[in-house]
Amino acid sequence: YDFCGRNGPTQHIWVYSGMRASQGRAHVYLIGKRKSRSALRRFKSQLYYMWFRLYHRDRNGGEDSSGFEHVFVGETKFGREILGLHNWVQFYLQEKQEILDYKGYKARDNDPNEDDHVLNVQFSWHGLVKPVASAFVGVSPEFEMAIFTILFLTSTEKTTTAVVNLDEYQLEMVVHRHGRSIGTAYPKLLSSNNRHV
């Protein structure tokens, strides 16, 4: 697996900067559910292990993947297939640098509108095409990390899904485990503004 954009030392900075609002509320919630200890140091360690610890996706490969890189940065499988890249900020930055080419949204019946904050899109990246990917749009990475952290820590299933109603949206949140780390995490838009998607 190849990573497109690894920055080793920034991992620690990300964990610590993400401890503000969204992660702080997630930590309080998880303490209440007895899924995390109250010591902030332990919670940071928990976040680091589930999001940034390197593991191998392929049995024959080395430890070259992490949940954070898969979800927020994107990676390729042996340069032949796009994996992950479920973050709109990375999507925007890569498109701005002309590394990513947005091919359009994927919808069953309706065009997305300005109120939609989860989209299914198709794009090419590093010469490869991803037929469909879903991502939040317009939310902070800290918010995404907090939501997916809660889902991951409150379940022991290999794949955890939860239907969530947010304002006028119905979403399915999906988290796949890779052992004790996050393998992937993404939202799926089920309905928006009373429209079935």
Q: Where are the domains of the chain?
A: 2-196
pTM of the model: 0.82
Tens-level pLDDT at each residue, the chain (197 residues): 333 444 444 444 444 444 556 778 899 999 999 999 999 899 999 999 999 999 988 777 778 899 999 999 999 988 899 999 999 999 999 999 999 999 987 655 556 556 567 888 899 999 999 998 999 988 899 999 999 999 999 999 999 999 988 777 788 999 999 999 999 999 988 876 655 54
Q: Which of 59, 72, 56 is closest to 14 using CA atoms?
A: 72
Three-class SS of residue 139? coil
Residues with active-site annotation: 70, 86, 130
